[in-house]
């Protein structure tokens, strides 16, 4: 394993005898493997490409993405930083987002800010060149996400800054200006309005966000992630809009019932609404999914068990039991796909610095 001051010694990858064209072939093959989630194999091809072109920012960025997927955040940051240093403009905007999201404090602001500068210049150039609507839209989306991420920093890590509230307002305004049809800044705005105790405005922003993404086709590249949808449901719960939260959570579960949090939140909502049978089923489903997924979360499991014990007492008073509302395991197991790659990044060995002897 070759390192310089704790980082990867990229210069040791050089193989001048091989051509740049060969590096591009290796990169293209690795990108195809990445689309199939074959990250370990893609990693090997990218290391070979890097030996040929050790200062290719696109190869470095791809390596960063792969090792990030493999759970090696530290070396992913090394690759992303080197990619940006070599060429701030050649490569995707995602590099800046990765670096901003993995950094803290002022460093995070600097990475997001640098990304905003690059994206703004790219947007101006694309508009001047009369680029396609799709190309311009992609840049607007990336720019809006960067502004939103910076605003969210002022709601979390930098919330004690003297100008936190005004900066958050300004950045969310810029995000919505960059991408007028964007739903992500609106959900962030809803969270911000809650922090300002402006709950009516928060609900209006949240409903507008739901309306925008709800009009998309589920196979749209802009369709929101499960995490984003769960966050939206949590905001509804915070606003005491339990019926709307249940509606959102049931829709999410219909799309993917292998996630613990939607089941748990659904159970909390239905319990709060007094629907004991629905809560009994949802809490039991949450426990089943948690146990079947192999994820250890004793605190959550204890909480679910305690809540189920309370529900069992309420059911017993009416002559019923939890078993009357227990989901049939075969019904769940047939439908739930828990995946198999979640532990792929657990190796202690640095995946960026494999000897990769089979390439020689």
Residue 50 token pair: 């890097």
Residue 226 token pair: 């499960």
Q: How would residue 356 be classed by pLDDT, with cut points 50, 70 and 90?
A: very low
Query: Is the pLDDT at 357 greater than 60, yes or no?
Result: no
Report the pLDDT averaged over residues 83-103: 88
Query: In this predicted model, what pLDDT tens digit does every residue of 299-335 receive, in sequence order?
Result: 999 999 999 999 999 999 999 999 998 765 555 545 5
Query: Is the pLDDT at 177 greater than 80, yes or no?
Result: yes
Q: Who wins on pLDDT, 331 or 275?
A: 275
Query: Is the pLDDT at 7 greater than 60, yes or no?
Result: no
**Do 79 and 47 form a contact (C-beta atoms < 8 A)?**
no
Query: Is the pLDDT at 84 greater than 80, yes or no?
Result: yes
Mean pLDDT, the chain, integer: 87
Q: Return the pLDDT at 20.
A: 82
Q: Return the pLDDT at 18.
A: 62
Q: Return the pLDDT at 351.
A: 40
CA-to-CA distance for 283 and 265, rounded, in angstroms?
A: 9
pTM for the whole structure: 0.79
Q: Which helix H or strand E contains 74, and what residues bound it? A: helix 73-86
Query: In this predicted model, what pLDDT tens digit does every residue of 123-171 receive, in sequence order?
Result: 999 999 999 999 999 999 999 999 999 999 999 989 999 999 999 999 9
CA-to-CA distance for 70 and 42, rounded, in angstroms?
A: 11
Tell me which of 235-249, 283-297, 321-335 is least confident: 321-335
Tell me the DSSP string of 150-175. Answer: HHHHHHTTTTTSTTHHHHHHHHHHHH
CA-to-CA distance for 134 and 119, rounded, in angstroms?
A: 15
For tokens 């305004």, the residue is: 173
Q: What percent of the chain has pLDDT over 90?
A: 76
Q: How would residue 15 be classed by pLDDT, with cut points 50, 70 and 90?
A: very low
Going by C-beta distance under 8 Å and a sequence separation of 6 or more, which residues neighbour residue 211?
Answer: none
């Amino acid at each position: 394993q070759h390192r310089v001051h704790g980082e990867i010694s990229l210069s040791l990858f050089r193989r001048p005898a091989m051509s740049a064209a060969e590096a591009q072939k290796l990169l293209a093959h690795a990108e195809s493997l990445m689309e199939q989630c074959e990250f370990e194999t893609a990693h090997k091809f990218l290391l070979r490409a890097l030996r040929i072109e050790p200062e290719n920012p696109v190869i470095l960025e791809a390596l960063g993405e792969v090792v990030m997927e493999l759970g090696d955040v530290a070396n992913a940051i090394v690759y992303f930083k080197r990619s940006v240093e070599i060429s701030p403009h050649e490569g995707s905007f995602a590099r800046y987002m990765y670096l901003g999201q993995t950094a803290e404090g002022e460093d995070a602001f600097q990475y997001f800010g640098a990304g905003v500068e690059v994206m703004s210049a790219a947007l101006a150039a694309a508009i001047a060149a009369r680029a396609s609507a799709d190309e311009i839209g992609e840049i607007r989306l990336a720019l809006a996400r960067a502004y939103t991420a910076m605003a969210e920093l002022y709601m979390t890590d930098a919330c004690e800054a003297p100008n936190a509230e005004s900066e958050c307002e300004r950045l969310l305004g810029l995000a919505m200006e960059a991408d007028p049809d964007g739903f992500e800044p609106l959900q962030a705005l809803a969270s911000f309005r809650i922090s300002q105790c402006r709950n009516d405005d928060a609900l209006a922003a949240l409903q507008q966000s739901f309306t925008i993404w709800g009009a998309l086709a589920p196979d749209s590249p802009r369709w929101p992630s499960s995490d984003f949808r769960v966050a939206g449901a949590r905001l509804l719960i915070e606003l005491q809009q339990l019926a709307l939260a249940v509606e959102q959570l049931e829709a999410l579960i219909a799309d993917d019932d292998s996630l613990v949090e939607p089941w748990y939140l659904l159970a909390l909502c239905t319990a709060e609404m007094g629907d004991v049978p629905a809560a009994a089923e949802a809490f039991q489903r949450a426990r089943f999914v948690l146990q079947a997924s192999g994820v250890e979360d004793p605190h959550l499991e204890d909480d679910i068990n305690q809540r189920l014990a309370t529900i069992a007492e309420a059911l017993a008073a009416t002559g019923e039991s939890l078993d009357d509302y227990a989901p049939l395991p075969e019904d769940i197991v047939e439908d739930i796909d828990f995946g198999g790659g979640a532990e792929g990044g657990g190796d202690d060995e640095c995946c960026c610095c494999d000897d990769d002897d089979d390439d020689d």
